[in-house]
Structure 1
Amino acid sequence: MRCLLSLVFFTSLSVAADRPNVMFILADDLGYSDLGCYGGDIATPNLDALAKEGLRFTQFYNTARCWPTRGALMSGYYAQQIHRDELPGLGGGGRGVRQSWARLLPDYLKPAGYRNYHSGKWHIDGPVLQSGFDRSLDVRNQGNFFSSKGNALDDVPVVPPENETGYYATTATADHAIDCLKEHAANYQKSPFFHYVAFIAPHFPLHALPEDIALYRDKYLAGWEKMRQTRYQRQKYMGIVNTELSAVERDIGPPYDFPDAFEKLGPGEINRPLPWDDLTDEQRHFQATKMAIHAAMVHRMDIEIGRILQQLREMGAYENTLIFFASDNGASAEIMVRNGGHDPKAEPGSAATYLCLGPGFSNACNTPFRRHKTWVHEGGISTPLIAHWPQGIQAHGELRHTPAHVVDIVPTVLEVAGVEKPKAWQDETLPEAPGKSLVPALAKDEIIARDSLWWLHEGNRAVRVGDWKLVAAKGDPWELYDLSTDRAEAHNLAAKMPDKVKELEAIWQKQTDQFSDLAKKTLNEQPQAPATGKGKGKGKAQAKQRE
């Protein structure tokens, strides 16, 4: 069957030069319902058009956090397999270093003649160009959207001009992507390309252009409950969800505690999704303003994506470029003040401010699901996935309901590129990768067969087998849900079905043990955690690590 599908896709791709280009666009901290084509109220016409002309996956998953998702996306392995997220008693995470065999996608594509480009956030270990990319803009400055200080171009630190008026990270990311595409058209038009475009938006700090904020300034004064209900009704109408709307968990706030932030942010800030009507006028205005800035960041990202798409059209590459769009995790409930602090007298969204979305509107952005970034309930791990490829995908505007995960992208891209993944790297046998090619789902709405999907992040853990999901927040008992009707995770069946809990727990533990056995082989190659001291210094070090 796979051979037949491949034949359908590649009947016109008779020579290497006709292999499809691939572009993967990744947002940062985007909620499941933020895009218009996923029920949102933010203007995203370019992404909506890709969805209308292509496919939307309704059950696509990430790892719940920035760096594990990026490692899994580019390698095709769960982050814990390659030291890029923590395993019990073994460490790993943002400082983890991949094994020598844990190559990234460009290393597999390059021998097949692909040029490889990276524009935007990196957050994977090692220099970008040593990972197989030919050009890179590494937007390392994640604390100020209005400054390029700290960024790197082709792994060389950028020297910012004295006056950076007009710089905005989202636009700069698109500018670099377009420049790469123009160079490719001029010098490498006979070669296919892979382009990884990783926007920081809408990750905190909430920084946006004034003209974009103005479009949404008073849009969210009706509150987060109204926004959730409206988005949910749109999602049901679109057929994206068939679950009830999850209950608001009033006692769930930010995943990390920074009490000093509230002194800096003032009385408008709150750390729980309280009833909107219970807030003061000052709190309602402050919260609605933050959501307006978040929306403005998403809106601007869509505009810049439109510019990239136009460049593809102008260079004649649009029809034969497989474009994916996703987010690295759900919207964030975090609240903190970093990178120079927050000036409460400055215009919200400007460089002198440091605002985070917080749990109220984060909950609404993740409609209809529970929880936020870092949790592995559906709100933390569910992302839109748009797939668009005029020359290779015949269906337009259709939904795909198969559960899928970022580890599936590597095998999918390799199959459409006609590249067979090697069995070994530098004489070292490659461990079996967990991902499955999504090529069959590009042709029709079918379920991709797999044993399970697995999660672990900061003690939050989950496993999905078929439509059964076992999930637990750190320190909490297992919860059991039937996702065929309850992706809201509203009806915990653990007490009624203890045997199913034991069955799924055994599967989760077996996979965890296998990953641990693999990680132990190269544990001595991992860097030692630096001494962080005590008190405030330790807190700052931990906060930096968690970014």
Structure 2
Amino acid sequence: MLRLVACLMIALSAGVSFAAVRPNVVVLLADDLGYQDIGCYGGPVETPTLDQLAAKGARFTNFYSGCAVCSPSRATLLTGRHHIRAGVYSWIHDESQKSHLLERETTLAEVLKGAGYATAHVGKWHLGLPTKKFDKPTPDQHGFDYWFATWNNAEPSHKNPKNFIRNGKPVGQLQGYSCQLVAEEAINWLDEKRDKEKPFFLNVWFHEPHAPIAAPDEIVNEYGGQKDKAAVYSGTIDNTDRAIARLLTKLAEVDAIENTLIVYASDNGSYRDDRTGGLRGKKGVNWEGGIRVPGIFCWPGTIPNGQQIDAPAGVVDILPTVCGLLDLDKPERHLDGSNLAPLLTQQGEFERHQPLFWHLQKSRPIVAMRDGRYSLVADPDYELSTSNMFQEAWIPKIKAGGYTNFRLYDLQADPQQTTDLAAEKPELVKRMKQQLLDINASIMSDGADWHQQ
């Protein structure tokens, strides 16, 4: 019932015009959700809330994470910059690594806070938190007035997690499922904690469907048996959709829906081969299955409803797009993302100033770049140790390293990346290779030297 109420409220969209007052901004991020998990992307899970967000806004068919694993993708989302520029090379293990989102970076929260917004982060963080060994910034040092977060995953699982921290203080074990607890915290902040004289930025990062997974039995039973991992996986996504419905209902209570911009995406592709939409690869690799994810933007009255946008885009574009939609100044530094506002509002011409680019040390291919319909991928011309966990001692080799075995794919004709066209299109490969190397050089020059600190 709650989902239906929320969906009906969202359905009250009007014509295209920028809101007279500065809108609220809500970012919803799933964890390890695949390109073909939710209903509006042809997936098997019942997600009426998300389906209605897409129907009353814009759904991207070629949307991308910032990386094939979580921490770097989240850094890219918050900064609009490649994650290596922001200090995050791979997923962060706080106890053994100095790595974290650099405090010198300007986040979306800081941009909006500077524009008079109340800001809150609820859910997974995974961008570095302090340990006994390493002093690292907390979310409040990245622009969030209020935060309720976990270092990494919900532990011991999504059910009854015990590792949440609220504004620096451990909360202890909670009763319930992570997505519902995160939604409840967001609702409580909207009701009791925020400055109600200000517009708000609410950053909601769910843990589902990242393992270890758990969901209510009655939801899992809709998809299979309790011992069926696929059914439990689907149950976590369904449960999250229900949690989002609760949050959207509250959002409609606190302000007109025409005054709220909502963005939904995932931090990387699924770890399940059957949830990537038939794309090659999965989480952890720079094939399409590891980096292509859902992408939905909904702002009734400003973003025309029912749009399907095929132009390539990604979480790297969220910060510049919010700035574009809200007429805010972008941070005075190089942004790797582009402003999608012309696409979303159907006003003006969209031009991507730089191809989308991915780098992940242990992935093969290690780099990927998308320019229009084409994808260029390559392997490293160097070797790293066999450790699966990122080693900060690798950084000099990564920053100085080059690439080999370049392959070219036409993603419009061959989204599964089955046919390498490099030999057939040498001039295109030459041009794209130079683009890739130029972007790579720029990113590596900004990369933090954690091994020297």
Q: TM-score, normalising length from structure 1?
A: 0.68
Query: Are residue 400 (structure 1) and residue 404 (structure 2) matched?
Result: no
Q: Deviations over 1:21-52 (max 9, x none)?
A: 11000000111011100001211011111111
Q: Could you tell me how far apart the structure 1 residues matched to 2:47 and 2:150 are?
A: 23
Q: Could you tell me how far apart the structure 2 residues matched to 1:318 and 1:199 are?
A: 22
Query: Are residue 386 (structure 1) and residue 315 (structure 2) matched?
Result: no
The code of the aligned residue for 2:374 comes to: W
Question: How much has 1:133 moved relative to structure 2?
Answer: 0.6
Question: How much has 1:151 moved relative to structure 2?
Answer: 1.6
Question: How much has 1:121 moved relative to structure 2?
Answer: 0.4
Please name the residue that 2:183 is paired with: 174
The code of the aligned residue for 1:169 comes to: S
Q: Could you tell me how far apart the structure 2 residues matched to 1:473 and 1:422 are?
A: 33
Q: Could you tell me how far apart the structure 2 residues matched to 1:94 and 1:380 are?
A: 24
Please name the residue that 1:80 is paired with: 84
Q: Look up the SS of the partner of 2:324 in the other structure.
A: helix
Question: How much has 1:167 moved relative to structure 2?
Answer: 2.2
Question: How much has 1:170 moved relative to structure 2?
Answer: 1.4
Please name the residue that 1:245 is paired with: none
Alignment of 1:465-504 (within 5 A): 465-472=371-378, 477-504=405-432
Question: How much has 1:191 moved relative to structure 2?
Answer: 1.1
Distance 1:139 1:129, change over 3 A: same
Q: Could you tell me how far apart the structure 2 residues matched to 1:368 and 1:35 are?
A: 14
Please name the residue that 1:339 is paired with: none
Please name the residue that 1:305 is paired with: 244
Q: Look up the SS of the partner of 1:477 in the other structure.
A: strand
Instruction: Tell me if structure 1 keeps the 8 A contact 2:54–2:306.
Output: yes
Q: Could you tell me how far apart the structure 2 residues matched to 1:405 and 1:451 are?
A: 12
Count of aligned positions: 396
Q: Look up the SS of the partner of 1:478 in the other structure.
A: strand
Instruction: Tell me if structure 2 keeps the 8 A contact 1:120–1:137.
Output: yes
Distance 1:94 1:415, change over 3 A: farther
Aligned match of 1:444 in 335, 341, 346?
A: 346
Aligned match of 2:444 in 496, 511, 516?
A: 516
Alignment of 1:265-284 (within 5 A): none
Please name the residue that 1:199 is paired with: 206
Instruction: List gaps (5 residues or longer) in structure 2.
Output: 1-15, 91-95, 129-136, 382-403
Q: Could you tell me how far apart the structure 1 residues matched to 2:189 and 2:98 are?
A: 29
Please name the residue that 1:128 is paired with: 139
Instruction: List gaps (5 residues or longer) in structure 1.
Output: 1-7, 87-92, 219-284, 333-361, 424-430, 530-547
Instruction: Tell me if structure 1 keeps the 8 A contact 2:154–2:162.
Output: no
Q: Could you tell me how far apart the structure 2 residues matched to 1:23 and 1:94 are?
A: 31
Please name the residue that 1:354 is paired with: none
Please name the residue that 1:188 is paired with: 195
Aligned match of 2:334 in 432, 451, 460?
A: 432
Query: Are residue 414 (structure 1) and residue 338 (structure 2) matched?
Result: no
Q: Could you tell me how far apart the structure 2 residues matched to 1:422 and 1:202 are?
A: 33
Question: How much has 1:418 moved relative to structure 2?
Answer: 2.7
Aligned match of 1:319 in 258, 265, 271?
A: 258
Question: How much has 1:215 moved relative to structure 2?
Answer: 1.1
Question: How much has 1:474 moved relative to structure 2?
Answer: 6.2
Please name the residue that 1:274 is paired with: none
Question: How much has 1:501 moved relative to structure 2?
Answer: 2.4
Please name the residue that 1:217 is paired with: 224
Q: Could you tell me how far apart the structure 2 residues matched to 1:42 and 1:199 are?
A: 17
Question: How much has 1:396 moved relative to structure 2?
Answer: 1.7
Q: Look up the SS of the partner of 1:215 in the other structure.
A: coil
The code of the aligned residue for 1:438 comes to: L
Please name the residue that 1:97 is paired with: 100
Q: Deviations over 1:49-91 (max 9, x none)?
A: 11111110111111111001100000111001122116xxxxx
Instruction: Tell me if structure 1 keeps the 8 A contact 2:359–2:368.
Output: yes
Question: How much has 1:388 moved relative to structure 2?
Answer: 0.8
Please name the residue that 1:25 is paired with: 28
Distance 1:474 1:199, change over 3 A: farther
Instruction: Tell me if structure 1 keeps the 8 A contact 2:106–2:331.
Output: no
Distance 1:368 1:416, change over 3 A: same
Q: Could you tell me how far apart the structure 1 residues matched to 2:81 and 2:206 are?
A: 22
Alignment of 1:327-366 (within 5 A): 327-332=266-271, 362-366=272-276
- Identity over aligned residues, as a percent? 35
Question: How much has 1:139 moved relative to structure 2?
Answer: 2.6
Please name the residue that 2:6 is paired with: none
Instruction: Tell me if structure 2 keeps the 8 A contact 1:402–1:447.
Output: no
Q: Could you tell me how far apart the structure 1 residues matched to 2:350 and 2:255 are?
A: 33
Q: Deviations over 1:381-421 (max 9, x none)?
A: 1011111111322x222201111121111111122233213
Instruction: Tell me if structure 1 keeps the 8 A contact 2:32–2:209.
Output: yes
Instruction: Tell me if structure 2 keeps the 8 A contact 1:403–1:448.
Output: no
Q: Could you tell me how far apart the structure 2 residues matched to 1:95 and 1:461 are?
A: 24
Question: How much has 1:473 moved relative to structure 2?
Answer: 5.7
Please name the residue that 1:264 is paired with: none
Question: How much has 1:98 moved relative to structure 2?
Answer: 4.1
The code of the aligned residue for 2:246 comes to: R
Instruction: Tell me if structure 2 keeps the 8 A contact 1:206–1:293.
Output: yes
Q: Could you tell me how far apart the structure 1 residues matched to 2:441 and 2:213 are?
A: 39
Question: How much has 1:452 moved relative to structure 2?
Answer: 1.2
Q: Could you tell me how far apart the structure 2 residues matched to 1:469 and 1:78 are?
A: 18
Instruction: Tell me if structure 2 keeps the 8 A contact 1:122–1:139.
Output: yes
Instruction: Tell me if structure 1 keeps the 8 A contact 2:264–2:295.
Output: yes
Question: How much has 1:317 moved relative to structure 2?
Answer: 3.8
Alignment of 1:45-84 (within 5 A): 45-62=48-65, 63-84=67-88
Question: How much has 1:441 moved relative to structure 2?
Answer: 1.0
Q: Could you tell me how far apart the structure 1 residues matched to 2:234 and 2:201 are?
A: 29
Instruction: Tell me if structure 2 keeps the 8 A contact 1:148–1:158.
Output: no
Q: Could you tell me how far apart the structure 2 residues matched to 1:500 and 1:404 are?
A: 21
Question: How much has 1:209 moved relative to structure 2?
Answer: 1.5
Q: Look up the SS of the partner of 1:451 in the other structure.
A: coil
Please name the residue that 1:43 is paired with: 46
Instruction: Tell me if structure 2 keeps the 8 A contact 1:67–1:94.
Output: no
Q: Look up the SS of the partner of 2:106 in the other structure.
A: coil
